[in-house]
Amino acid sequence: MGQKLDSRRTLPPDDSSIVVDAEGFSLICEGEAVYRVDWQRVHQIAGYTRFRDLKPELCLAFAFSRRQRDQVVVHNDVPGWDRLCAALAVSFPGADPDWRSKAAHDVDAPESYAPVGSVVPIFTVNPTIVWAK
Domain encompassing residue 117: 41-132
Choose the most confident range, by mean pLDDT, from 2-16, 82-96, 112-126: 82-96
Q: Do you know the residue count of the chain?
A: 133
The kind and range of the H/E element at 116 are: helix 114-117
Residues in Cβ contact with 115 at an 8 Å cutoff, skipping those fewer than 6 apart: none
Asked if residue 68 belongs to a domain, the reply is yes
Asked if residue 16 belongs to a domain, the reply is no
| Three-state DSSP state, 60 | strand
Confidence of residue 45 (pLDDT cuts 50, 70, 90): very high
Q: For residue 61, which amino acid is it?
A: A
Asked if residue 64 belongs to a domain, the reply is yes
Q: What is the pLDDT of residue 50?
A: 86
Asked if residue 1 belongs to a domain, the reply is no
Per-residue pLDDT reduced to its tens digit, 55-96: 888 999 999 987 767 888 999 999 999 999 999 999 999 999
Task: Count structural domains, the chain.
Answer: 1
Asked if residue 30 belongs to a domain, the reply is no
Q: For residue 48, which amino acid is it?
A: Y
Q: What is the dihedral of CA 114, 127, 20, 68, to 10 degrees?
A: 110
pLDDT above 70 covers what percent of the chain?
Answer: 78
Strands in 32-38's sheet, in edge-to-edge order, are 16-21, 24-29, 32-38
Asked if residue 2 belongs to a domain, the reply is no
First to last CA, the chain: 37
Asked if residue 9 belongs to a domain, the reply is no
Asked if residue 54 belongs to a domain, the reply is yes
Q: What is the pLDDT of residue 54?
A: 73
Averaged pLDDT score across all residues of the chain: 82
Q: What is the pLDDT of residue 108?
A: 58
Instruction: State phi, psi for 55 to the nearest 5 degrees.
Output: -120, 125
